[in-house]
Amino acid sequence: MIDLLPTLFAPDDDPWLWLEEVEGEAACAWAQARSDETIAKLADARFEADRAALLEILDRPDRIPHVTRQGGLLYNFWRDADHPRGLWHRTTMESYLGAEPEWEILLDIDALAAKEGEDWVWSGAMTRPTHDRTLVRLSRGGSDAGVLREFDIGTCAFVADGFVLPEAKGGASWLDDDTLLLASAFGDGNATKSGYARTVRLWPRGTDPAEAAILHEVDVESMACWAWFDRENSDIVFGEQVDFYNTVISIGDRSGPKTKIDRPTDAGTSWSRGFVALRPRRPWTVGDTTYSADSILVTSREAYLAGARDFRVLFTPERSKALQGQFWCGGDLVISVLDDLRPVFLRAVPREDWRIEEIAGLPSIGAVNLWPLDSDPLESTGELAALSETPIASPQLSLLEPGVAAPTPLRRAPAAFDPRAAVVTRHDAVAPDGERIPYVQIGPPGETGDAPVYMTGYGGFRVSTLPYYSATRGKLWLEKGGVVVLTNLRGGGEFGASWHEAGRREGKARSHDDFAAIAADLVARGVTRPQRIAAEGGSNGGLLIANMLTRHAEKFGALFCTIPLVDMRRYHKLLAGASWIAEYGDPDLPEDWAFLQEISAYHNVEADRAYPPILIATTRRDDRVHPGHARKFAAKLQALGYPALFYEPASGGHGYGKDNAEVARFAALGMSFLRRAIGWEAETGTIG
């Protein structure tokens, strides 16, 4: 008799719990054996050619080096074939504008890993205001947890008696040259249920971090806490991240928080050069005035802290105009908007009574990303870096200077693939509840009714999916003549707060139905048939793909489910899962489990169902979404007799690999599986 456990009738009777032991001997042996079987099945000559081609693209020496400026110099982290783990280096603006910049190497991660015998992966650096020393963050295998080590930029060496913090989630920030604000889960009792820091400690140089004085402490049920030194106002800013969308902010000093900022806990709040900006997530009533969700409100920081609530409204959303975000740059407020999915950026200038103008010269299609060129806001003169791209046009990096009418192009990435005269078109599917769900289709013009289609989506955490350039999709799907579909599901942020709310908690199943509706629309429009539709999604998108298997199996020919959430009964007990209760709901509450059970693919798998082929992949070093989700899902499917494939490399973190070689292998394996499973490529002999 086939064991169906766990089921909706016995959700806690789980025979596969042993696979949650991340480094358990039996669990690792199972994962390795299943991974070996997948490699043996899929690693044929075409896979190897795809892997090599993708790796060559990822390692190209003429890629764009993305930079930020600190102390007048441009810093970049770079990986290539000779430096797979990467180099942290810097150059001058003059050199960067040349054809081949001259870089000063500060830290070679490959050399460091070899010297110390560690699987080091670069996770960033936090430089102090004098730009002479930094806190380098390194992780093992790409995990979120990492170590902190003080590094002298002038001598390009770690400080012998400097700050060193053992591996943990969280980090530290500079208070002064000899003191750090430590917000780390390191040490007993210093982690929340989500695995993040629950204390902020004052850590003087030369002392034991475990004995650092606690300045701020939050409840273990909160998501996290943090602190940073506001040099502009000489304050320490303390934050309690209550959940994913709510934060309590206080201002204090070296003795701890003193004044709680009176604001809705869900309102994004930032300040610069005497002004404060707020962005409420829900409607906010102040006196006789109600400000809409996603409006941008500004006022004097001093007046606000004194209790005044006289706001200037800089932006009010409309049905087609959705706020994406805002940030300060050189004292100006830059506002990011999607106007019916068209990227628009506004610059609001407080020195001119909040004059608002659209930043000119940026593309109106595709994906555009802006950020301050200077990482230190007190050094910023208002210059912005802009990266623009479309699904078939490689990214271009430009510089936007205040007062200059048009962006200055700096570099364009080389083409990673031949789009084969592909066209980009936008369409709308109709969801079961009547909502119109946009999607972008890229591929050959015309409808054949049999096109090999690759679909992907996310639909969560208010993340907007824009049509960006992808070497993987381009080289391994478009260039081969296939069709790519990028979806804008509810739960994302493409149409603002209401779009996100519609796909959150009990609306998450609605988000999944949106994806299925797009698959059906592709068939109705004559683009393809269900057996020719392949779909991929990762993380929250992995939850999406798992539900396509259990809830919409008839609409797909193959599924690639990566670093996924699958077990929604126990997700909040696994690693960072508790931090996502605000997005999904709490399975310990009967009223929440009532809707969560609908999307817990792990519990909804049934025997004798016609499921499409699926490859489930994770990484052992993913300490955000527990690899047990993927392991248990694959094990249960296989126990029920389904030929589900599984792949788990030993490193990679919450992604497809810790270096370009691992990313290329992971991606090529998935694409090879999808093409073969939908009948686009025939089976061939493996390469051993």
Whether the per-residue pLDDT at 685 is higher than 50: the answer is no
Q: Decide which of 121, 152, 168 is a domain's last residue.
A: 168
pLDDT score for 2: 65
Q: How far apart are CA 252 and CA 243, in angstroms?
A: 22
- Give a yes or no: residue 8 inside a domain: no
pLDDT score for 688: 29
- Give a yes or no: residue 155 inside a domain: yes
Cross-strand partners of 252: 236, 257
- 654 assigned to active site: yes
Q: How far apart are CA 530 and CA 271, in angstroms?
A: 51
Cross-strand partners of 137: 148
What mean pLDDT do residues 119-143 have?
Answer: 96
Is there a single domain that holds both residue 533 and residue 658? yes
Cross-strand partners of 617: 562, 647
Query: Tens digit of pLDDT for each residue in 475-504?
Result: 999 999 999 999 999 999 999 999 999 999
| Mean pLDDT, the chain, whole residue set | 96
Task: List, in order, residues 6 or more apart from 403 with CB less than 8 Å away.
Answer: none
Q: Decide which of 168, 189, 220 is a domain's last residue.
A: 168
Q: How far apart are CA 238 and CA 257, in angstroms?
A: 6
- Give a yes or no: residue 36 inside a domain: yes
Is there a single domain that holds both residue 70 and residue 49? no
Q: How far apart are CA 269 and CA 286, in angstroms?
A: 16
Is there a single domain that holds both residue 524 and residue 587? yes
pLDDT score for 687: 36
- Give a yes or no: residue 258 inside a domain: no
Q: Which amino acid would we find at residue 585?
A: G
How many domains in the chain?
2
Q: How far apart are CA 663 and CA 130, in angstroms?
A: 36
Is there a single domain that holds both residue 38 and residue 161? no
Give one DSSP letter per residue of 110-126, joined into a string.
HHHHHHHT--EEEEEEE
Whether the per-residue pLDDT at 682 is higher than 70: the answer is no
Whether the per-residue pLDDT at 407 is higher than 50: the answer is yes
Q: Decide which of 168, 196, 214 is a domain's last residue.
A: 168
Is there a single domain that holds both residue 494 and residue 539? yes
pLDDT score for 214: 97
Task: List, in order, residues 6 or more apart from 301 with CB less than 8 Å away.
Answer: 233, 271, 274, 275, 276
Task: List, in order, residues 6 or more apart from 400 with CB less than 8 Å away.
Answer: 359, 361, 370, 383, 384, 385, 386, 407, 408
Nearest to 615 by CA among 665, 669, 664, 651: 669
Is there a single domain that holds both residue 137 and residue 34? no
Nearest to 76 by CA among 40, 114, 122, 34: 122
Is there a single domain that holds both residue 448 and residue 561? yes
Query: Tens digit of pLDDT for each residue in 295-307?
Result: 999 999 999 999 9
- For the chain, what percentages of helix, strand and coil (3-state, to nearest 5) are there? 25, 35, 40
* Boundaries of domain holding 89: 64-168
Query: Tens digit of pLDDT for each residue in 188-227?
Result: 999 999 999 999 999 999 999 999 999 999 999 999 999 9
Catalytic residue among 539, 579, 600, 672: 539
- Distances, alpha carbon 202 to alpha carbons 162, 209, 502, 554, in Å: 15, 9, 42, 57
- Give a yes or no: residue 647 inside a domain: yes
Is there a single domain that holds both residue 584 and residue 658? yes
- Give a yes or no: residue 112 inside a domain: yes
- Give a yes or no: residue 115 inside a domain: yes
Q: What is the pTM of this model?
A: 0.96
Q: What is the CATH number of the domain that holds 477?
A: 3.40.50.1820
Strand, helix or coil for residue 640 = coil
Helix boundaries (H) for 355-434: none
Half-sphere exposure in the Cβ direction for 210 (13 Å, CA): 5
Q: How far apart are CA 125 and CA 93, in angstroms?
A: 20
For the beta carbon of residue 208, count every other beta carbon within 10 angstroms.
8
Catalytic residue among 500, 603, 626, 654: 654
Q: Which amino acid would we find at residue 525?
A: R
What mean pLDDT do residues 87-111 have?
Answer: 96
Helix 508-524 and helix 590-599, axial crossing angle in degrees, nearest 10: 20
pLDDT score for 686: 39
Cross-strand partners of 215: none
The backbone region for 604, taken as left when phi is positive above 0, alpha when psi lies in -120 to 50, beta otherwise, is: alpha
Is there a single domain that holds both residue 68 and residue 51? no
- 131 assigned to active site: no
Is there a single domain that holds both residue 465 and residue 588? yes
- Distances, alpha carbon 184 to alpha carbons 147, 187, 252, 621, in Å: 10, 8, 19, 19
